């Protein structure tokens, strides 16, 4: 029976303008990341793409949501963001249009994600490149600070564990 996770109700507009919902990722493990092109963590795009390439056939989706709420570090329009990511980091994982991850206009996906508290990461998103790991049932299973590199043992281990439990 399909999960009725509230995450699946969240609307998404992909970077190419396609309207969809998070339900498109039902049955997949999803790493949701708020991204920015002019941030000290921007080089993490390379690691995110490497994760996606390594695990996509096992059911992982990396979903990038550009956000300009932290010191204006994502000022471009969708076409600029997409071109930057493809040219500089070879990004092929799905991305959305720019969203707010906190505040009055917080995107509905982040309204749900930020209910998940993990250690030093309660509530609000603190900065660009914070990561949320969602299992194949639409349950948030982990949350990682911006400083956690995509290819770190901590994050890779959590992804492998989540993928393995989906396959079991």
In tens digits, the chain (168 residues) has pLDDT values of 345 789 999 999 999 999 999 999 999 999 999 999 999 999 999 999 999 999 999 999 999 999 999 999 999 999 999 999 999 999 999 999 999 999 999 999 999 999 876 655 567 899 999 999 999 999 999 999 999 999 999 999 999 999 999 887
Where residue 46 falls (left for φ over 0; alpha for ψ -120 to 50; beta otherwise) is alpha
Instruction: Indicate the pTM of the whole model.
Output: 0.94
What residues are annotated to the active site? 39
For the chain, which domains are there?
A: 6-167 (3.40.30.10)
């Amino acid at each position: 029976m399909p999960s009725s996770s509230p995450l699946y109700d969240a609307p998404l507009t992909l970077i190419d303008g396609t309207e969809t919902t998070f339900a498109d990722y039902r049955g997949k493990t999803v790493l949701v990341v708020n991204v920015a092109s002019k941030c000290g963590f921007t080089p993490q795009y390379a690691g995110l793409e490497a994760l996606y390439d390594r695990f996509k056939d096992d059911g992982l989706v990396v979903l990038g949501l550009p956000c300009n709420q932290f010191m204006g570090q994502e000022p471009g329009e969708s076409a600029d963001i997409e071109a930057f990511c493809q040219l500089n980091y070879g990004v092929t994982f799905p991305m959305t249009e720019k969203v707010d991850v906190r505040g009055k206009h917080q995107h509905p996906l982040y309204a749900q994600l930020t209910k998940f508290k993990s250690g030093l990461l309660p509530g609000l998103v603190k900065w660009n490149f914070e990561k949320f790991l969602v299992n194949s049932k639409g349950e948030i299973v982990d949350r990682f600070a911006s400083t956690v590199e995509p290819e770190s043992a901590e994050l890779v281990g959590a992804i492998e564990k989540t993928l393995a439990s989906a396959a079991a």
